[in-house]
Every structure is written in C-alpha cells, then in structure tokens.
Amino acid sequence: MAPSRDRRPGFSRRAQYSLFLTYILGIAGAVVGGVLLALSTFNPVAFNAVRAAVAELTAPPAALLAGAGSQLASVPDAIASHFQVRSENRELRARLNQARGALLAGRQAQIENVRLRRLLTLRDRLPETIAAARIVSTSASSTRRFGLLNAGSFQGVADGQPVTGPEGLIGRVLYVGPDTARVLLITDPESIVPVRRTRDGRPALAAGRGDGLVDIRTIDTADGRFRPGDLFVTSGTGGIFVPGVPVARVLRAGTDSAPARPFARPDSLDVALVHRAFMPPPPAPPAPAPKPSPSPTPEP
Amino acid sequence: MTLPARPLFKEPLPPGRARLLPWASVLAGSLATTLPWNASLGLLPPLGLLMMLAWRLLAPLSLRVWAPALLGLFDDLVSGQPLGSAMLLWTLAFFLVEALEARSGVRDFAQSWAIAAVAIALAQAGGRLFASPLSAYVDGVLVIQIILSVLLFPAAARLVAWIDLKRAR
C-alpha cells in the first residue's frame, strides 16, 4: 500500500491549522490519559462509580449469554450422567454404609461443639447469605482478575463482602452498582486472603499470582513446611471472610511460600453466593454535636 | 487487486454513518471482553486495539489523531485495566504507527502486520506494567496473549477491509 499523502494540507491555512489542531488534541488525549492513570494508580477507588455505571449496561447481555452458555454446556453432562447413574448408585450405597459410623461420631462432636461454645458464650456471627447470583463475565483481556456479579446494592450487596462458590472461596466484592458488583477474584495479583491449614490450624496468607494459582505464604517465623496436598481454609482473621470456607490445595512443596490451586475454578464458576462480611468494621463515631456558640453579651 | 465495481445507481453511505463505522467497530471490539468468557487467565486478545490498528494501517484517514484517546477511555471502562492506561497507550501506539509510516515508503501487508505487531506488543507490555505489580506471575500468559493478538491481526484487517469496502465508495 502506498503511503497516504492525504494528510498533507497543501497551502490552505485553514487545512494546515485544523491538521495541527488534531495533533494537539491527540497529544492532549495522551496527557489526560497519563493523568487519569496516575490518579487511578494512587487512588484505585476513584473511578468506581463510572465503571459501575458502564457495567450496569454491559451486564444484562452477558447474563443472557452466560445462562444460554451454561445450558448448552450442561447437555453433555446430562447425557453422560444418564448412562452412569446405575453404577454410581451402587457405589454411593456402598459408601453410605461405610460412612454411617463416621456420621454418628460427627453428629456427636457437633452437638458437643454447640454446648461448649454456649459455655464459652462465644460471640459468633452466622454466615448470612445476602444474594445468590451469576458471575457473568471476567476481565478476559487484562492481567488483573476481576469478575462481574449479576447482583448489586438493590439485592443488598455491599463493598467488601465475601463471595463463595459451590467449591470454595471466589473473592470479595470490590464495588457495587445498583444491579452489578465487581468481584476481586482470589487469583488476582493484588488479592490477599488470611487462611489456615486444616491439618493443624497453622495461619498463612493466600496471595493471588495472576496465573490462576495462589501463593500460600507464611506469616509466622516457625518452621513452615508446606507439603503438596495441604488444604487451606479461610481463617476469618481481618473480619471479612467467613471462617472455614475452602480456599486452595498446595501443589508443590515449599518452605516460605508454595503455589496452590484454588478450589473454585474461575473457568467453571457461574453461581456465586454473597455473604455478609464476617465482622464488618464498626460504624464511624458520630460527629460531635456543635457546641452552643457563646451568645454575644448585650451591650450595657 | 481490482475492487469490484459498485452497482451503477447505488448511493454511497452518507458521510455521518461512514465516519461512525470505524468508531463503532472499535467500540464493539472493546465490548468483546464483557462477554461471558469466564477465563482463569487473561488470554483474550485486545480486540478493540486490533480493530483500531487495522483501521489506522489500512484506512489512515478513517480515525482522527484524537480518536484513540476516547476509544481507549471506553476500553478502560470495560476491560478492568486502570483508567487511563489504554487512553495513553493507544494514543502512543497511534503515534508510533504514524512515525513508522512516515519512514516507510510503499509497503505490503506483511510490513503493516509487522508494524501492528510492534504496536500490540508495546501496548500490552505497558498495560501489564500499569495494571499488575512486578511480582505477579503474569508474564508467560502475557507473551501468549501477545502472540495470539498478533496472529489475529490479519483477521481484524480482513474485517476492517470488508467494512471499509462497504463504507468508502
């Protein structure tokens, strides 16, 4: 293709000036972009209202498509399960017989746990479900990992609430619009979740890596060996995440940090539950009442 | 290649719509990221950027110099990148194409593709630097995403050429 000569304005002053003006506007656009970038780097919540407004518009078509897509994706599963159901039934009956003893012991432990907790008058907040909704899209072309939830402040969702899927923790709500909420997935490079090991209750942090895994990091100085297969659940420290939700399983051994695979696979997440924040921050103290101003003394 | 002749009495598109089509196609490319991909990795090529570069390289007068800032602003609002990142990087990519074009004479599609590849790689690398901390393990994914984007550029160019054929004559 020959280079275009059409941008050469010739001798017309008007054409020359208007071409010059377009370049000025282009450079101004880049400068404004740089300023906005600096603002949103130092204050990431600055433009959340605008983003939420745009998400309100893009969510409904995505929700329709997500519903249709999951219907289509469930067809092969339905066919396969139809043919597997007999053998699976036999296997499940056998497993139920084996598990009956463990179930009895577990019930006893649960009852005892409730009694002991009552003795201690432990102040627990129940993990109250606020909304069940679909994750309709993720930030598929960015290095950040966000999800868009199809429920917002009209459904009672608020900033900071934890979001869980059927398999485990998905993330937490970053900001909400009227009918949508942006979710920071636990695999995002800036997400950190306090966790503990199920085996011995050892505390750790699950920090997102950005490549679909999380890093389990030690927070204490004790000898920390992570072994492959270690299970981590949320600890409830920090007051956001409800304790006891499965987070990740360690893949490779490590001393200070080890890569782990989250239980909630972002490939397959569609339905998500929003819970109330485990211990929401206390409300801000009320502003002090204005003191009565001294009335001017009447002139004698 | 000779262009197919237009039917004799067919009117060309009115200028307003002809000017709107490049904008609309770039915005549609940006909106592709809001579809339910549900990916655990960010592998979707930045289709808005591909469309914009294809318009710039195939039909240089279709977008003004100030267009990439506004198109990038919209892309930032839907893509999850920090606001202003695409606004800055797309304008810089536009100027990069401008500079390379001023120094290239008659060029074929392979050279346009190479220019687009350079612009895509720089814009994506810049977006990664702005969005994620340096310690994040996203570089391997980013390289794959850049390769996918570069491989997808001819398809975007094909689409743009098809729209341009409807539009310009």
* Average pLDDT over every residue of B102-119: 89
- Say what the pLDDT of residue B53 is: 95
Smallest CA–CA separation between B25 and chain A, in Å?
Answer: 16
Q: Which of B3, B19, B35, B61 to mutate to test the interface with A (most CBs of A within 10 A)?
A: B35
**A186-242 pLDDT tens trace:** 999 999 999 999 888 888 999 999 888 999 998 877 667 889 999 999 988 888 888
Contact B132 A138 (CB under 8 A): no
* Average pLDDT over every residue of B87-113: 90
**A249-296 pLDDT tens trace:** 999 998 888 999 998 876 655 788 898 887 766 666 666 666 655 555
Q: Tell me the residue range of the domain where B98 lies.
A: 15-168
**pLDDT bracket for residue A15 (50, 70, 90):** confident
Contact B137 A144 (CB under 8 A): no
Residue at B8 is within a domain:
no
Contact B61 A6 (CB under 8 A): yes
- Say what the pLDDT of residue B142 is: 93
Q: Is the pLDDT of residue B68 over 90?
A: yes
**pLDDT bracket for residue A166 (50, 70, 90):** confident
Q: Which of A18, A35, A64, A142 to mutate to test the interface with B (most CBs of B within 10 A)?
A: A142
Residue at B10 is within a domain:
no
Contact A144 B42 (CB under 8 A): yes
The CATH homologous superfamily for domain A129-275 is Rod shape-determining protein MreC, domain 1 (2.40.10.340)
**A103-154 pLDDT tens trace:** 888 888 888 888 887 777 655 555 678 888 888 888 888 888 898 888 999 9
Which range has the top average pLDDT, A39-48, A235-244, B105-114, B117-126?
B117-126
Residue at B110 is within a domain:
yes
Q: Could you state, in order of their start, the residue ranges of all structural domains in chain A?
A: 129-275
- Say what the pLDDT of residue B43 is: 87
> What is the predicted ipTM?
0.85
- Say what the pLDDT of residue A1 is: 59
- CA-nearest residue to A63 within chain B is B36
Contact A266 B142 (CB under 8 A): no
* Average pLDDT over every residue of B34-55: 87
Nearest to A145 by CA among B137, B104, B10, B167: B137
| Chains A–B, number of C-beta pairs less than 8 Å apart | 203
- Six token digits for residue A177: 């619009």
- Say what the pLDDT of residue A297 is: 58
pTM recorded for the entire structure: 0.81
- Say what the pLDDT of residue B145 is: 94
From chain B, pick out residues whose CB is under 8 angstroms from the CB of A69. 36
Residues near A270 by beta carbon (within 8 Å), at least 6 away in sequence: A66, A70, A134, A135, B38
Neighbours of A56 (CB within 10 A): 14
**Count: domains in chain B:** 1
Contact B84 A142 (CB under 8 A): no
- Say what the pLDDT of residue A288 is: 63
